[in-house]
Amino acid sequence: MDSDPLDVPTMSALVSKLIDLRATRFQNGALFLDRDGVLNIDKGYVYRWQDFEWITGARDLIRAFNAAGWPVIVVTNQSGVARGVYDEADIRALHASVTEDLSKQGAHIDAFYHCPFHKDGVVEAYRITDHPARKPNPGMLLRAATDHDIQLERAIMFGDNLSDVDAATRAGARVFLFQAPN
């Protein structure tokens, strides 16, 4: 397994690169996706549906992996909870809206995992230094692997920053680094 991330400039480039990886040699794999900057344009603390704007091609990517029978799982740091900007109910509501929108497009996400903890949190319950679930730690991927019977060496992570790369690498998954167009 390569330890260096593979750079891809667009969602369509990712779909093209990954189409062959959907073969049976990746049985029990999964597609892990970061949220902000990969699925939606990162506007900073996106927690309301009216602020969520899909990145072009993201729904197509999800639908392609759904069609291949792969679990599609979102793993996202959400420090806005620790910072008091929004709460976990807001995250669940946004993810429910994402799910509803995807269902209209014939696609779905199998699970959402989020980490609300941050060392600089103003909400005491969420102020934790180096929480095992917070990327770059691999905790969310490890939990998802257990919950969904995923073999991480057969999984792919698609992220937009080095914390995603580090989390996937530490979990043993292949990683693709994506930069959304401005």
User: Residue 178 has what pLDDT?
Assistant: 84
CA trace torsion 173, 88, 86, 37 (10° rounding): 20
Q: Which tens digit of pLDDT belongs to each residue from 44-90?
A: 999 999 999 999 999 999 998 898 888 999 999 999 999 999 999 99
User: Domain ranges in the chain?
Assistant: 6-19+30-178
> Once rounded to an integer, what is the mean pLDDT over residues 128-140?
97
Q: Which tens digit of pLDDT belongs to each residue from 1-22?
A: 444 555 555 666 666 666 555 5
What number of other Cβ atoms are within 10 A of residue 163's Cβ? Answer: 15
- Among residues 45, 101, 38, 48, which one has the least CA distance to residue 75? 38
Q: What is the pTM of this model?
A: 0.87
- Among residues 24, 37, 18, which one has the least CA distance to residue 75? 37
Mean pLDDT of the chain: 89
Classify domain 6-19+30-178 by CATH number.
3.40.50.1000
CB 112 within 8 A of CB 88: no
Distance between CA atoms of 180 and 157, rounded to whole angstroms?
Answer: 15
What six digits make up the tokens of 10? 């667009």
Asked whether residue 181 carries a pLDDT value surpassing 70, the answer given is no
CB 73 within 8 A of CB 111: yes
- φ, ψ of residue 158 to 5 degrees: the values are -120, 110
Q: Looking at the annotation, which residues are catalytic?
A: 34, 36
Distance between CA atoms of 59 and 6, rounded to whole angstroms?
Answer: 21
> Per mean pLDDT, which range of 8-17, 32-41, 117-126 is the poorest?
8-17
